[in-house]
Amino acid sequence: MGRFNLIVTLSLLSLFLFFPSPTLAQLRQNFYANICPNVENIVRSEVTKKFQQTFVTVPATLRLFFHDCFVQGCDASVIIASTASNKAEKDHPDNLSLAGDGFDTVIKAKAALDAIPQCRNRVSCADILALATRDVIALSGGPSYAVELGRLDGLVSKASDVNGRLPAPTFNLNQLNSLFAANGLTQQDMIALSAAHTVGFSHCGKFSNRIYTFAPGRQVDPTLNRTYATQLQAMCPKNVDPRVAINMDPITPRAFDNVYFRNLQQGMGLFTSDQVLFSDRRSRPTVDTWARDSKAFNKAFIEAMTKLGRVGVKTGRNGNIRRDCGAFN
């Protein structure tokens, strides 16, 4: 009886080794080589068309990827539309400012892939978003990099899951580090990813406290460059529509570069969560290094984006490939 059990155990072990559990599947760069070999060129072509229509494609897609990965992992759950019975992630207050151009980029790339019989419904929306994010970074002057693929699309999207999962513009360094650490990301990763604000834009209501109501007896945040604060007040008067948007990088708003860090050195970080990276002594050395060394920053950014893309990946029964990125199958 003991020998029989040993044989069964060894047989099961050999099955496990040759047919590993799908939950152990690893992301890999050539995942679609035999499924949809031209996937990267097809996605890049659609992203380029969208980019040529509007630069907003860049920050919109980047932000969509970040907001997706930090809530239930990189599974395109942020793209799901709400229904009468389910309020989805995209309708949480923190996601209402996600620009439609990011969603549209993924939808157009998905349509282009589905027009090819071999690729139809074979590439996940989560992977399309990951590829599109890499492409908008490169199109705006940032580094290009190999994207790990093999994600499935999530089966759940609830607005309530967004609570407490995204960094607020008022966060200090401890709060930022804590939130990023919860996703397996280091302080260096956090600082690198924060530089995505080099091509971002923000609504006045997100930082008005820094230029009008910072503290009793102190209208303006003292870490804010005085000239910059005056410019912000001109662009965002007290009674302005809070949805009015301004560039987060006042120097090179349409270039993905390390000027973001030079801005922080000059007190021109738009959010508290930006400027704190320089004002806090624990993170300042990294800011100073990347302000003068764009190659070092690009390397760190690629590493951080790769790690971000591994957060909460769905495999096996935990996901599928959606026929429509905005709706569950």
User: Predicted confidence band at 190 (pLDDT cuts at 50, 70, 90)?
Assistant: very high
269 is in an annotated binding site: no
Q: What is the pLDDT of residues 287-308, one digit of tens each?
A: 999 999 999 999 999 999 999 9
Q: Which domain holds residue 217?
A: 173-309
* Residues 220 and 300 occupy one common structural domain: yes
Q: What is the pLDDT of residues 136-164, one digit of tens each?
A: 999 999 999 999 999 999 999 999 999 99
With 0-12 CB in 10 A as exposed, 13-18 as middle and 19+ as buried, what is 253?
Answer: middle
Phi, psi of 3 (to 5 degrees): -65, -40
Integer CA distances (angstroms), 173 to 54, 210, 283, 296, in order: 33, 17, 8, 22
pLDDT for position 243? 79
203 is in an annotated binding site: no
75 is in an annotated binding site: yes
The answer on pLDDT for 6 being more than 60 is no
* Cβ–Cβ < 8 Å for 209, 220: no
Rg (CA), the chain: 22
Q: How many helices (H) and strands (E) does the chain have?
A: 13, 4
* Cβ–Cβ < 8 Å for 130, 149: yes
Amino acid identity of residue 192, one-letter, is A
* CA-closest candidate to residue 113, choices 178, 172, 44, 196: 44
pLDDT for position 242? 76
pLDDT for position 25? 53
Whether the CA torsion 107, 76, 165, 278 is positive or negative: it is negative
pLDDT for position 3? 53
The active-site residue, picked from 50, 63, 67, 206, is 67
Amino acid identity of residue 150, one-letter, is G
Mean pLDDT of the region 193-212: 95
* Residues 184 and 158 occupy one common structural domain: no
94 is in an annotated binding site: no
249 is in an annotated binding site: yes
* Residues 226 and 118 occupy one common structural domain: no
Mean pLDDT of the chain: 93
* Residues 146 and 244 occupy one common structural domain: no
Residue 266 located in a structural domain:
yes
* Tokens found for residue 148: 């790990």
77 is in an annotated binding site: yes
Integer CA distances (angstroms), 255 to 34, 56, 273, in order: 35, 12, 21
Residue 188 located in a structural domain:
yes
pLDDT for position 112? 98
With 0-12 CB in 10 A as exposed, 13-18 as middle and 19+ as buried, what is 293?
Answer: middle
Residue 46 located in a structural domain:
yes
The single-letter DSSP state of residue 280 is S
* Residues 98 and 156 occupy one common structural domain: yes
* Residues 181 and 302 occupy one common structural domain: yes
* CB-CB neighbours of 190 under 10 Å: 23
- 203 in catalytic set: no
* Residues 183 and 304 occupy one common structural domain: yes
Q: Which helix (H) or strand (E) holds 30?
A: none
* Residues 126 and 191 occupy one common structural domain: no
What is the DSSP pairing of strand 319-320 with strand 153-154?
antiparallel
274 is in an annotated binding site: no
56 is in an annotated binding site: no
Mean pLDDT of the region 308-328: 97
Integer CA distances (angstroms), 132 to 42, 43, 59, 138, 268, in order: 10, 7, 11, 10, 29
* Cβ–Cβ < 8 Å for 110, 58: no
SS3 152: strand
Residue 1 located in a structural domain:
no
Residue 75 located in a structural domain:
yes
In the numeric block, the tokens 């989560």 are attached to: 126
48 is in an annotated binding site: no
Residue 113 located in a structural domain:
yes
Mean pLDDT of the region 1-22: 45
Q: Which helix (H) or strand (E) holds 203?
A: strand 201-203
Q: What is the pLDDT of residues 57-115, one digit of tens each?
A: 999 999 999 999 999 999 999 999 999 999 999 999 999 999 999 999 999 999 999 99
* Residues 201 and 162 occupy one common structural domain: no
The answer on pLDDT for 14 being more than 60 is no
* Residues 181 and 262 occupy one common structural domain: yes
241 is in an annotated binding site: no
CA 254/CA 269 separation, integer angstroms: 16
The answer on pLDDT for 241 being more than 50 is yes
Count of structural domains within the chain: 2
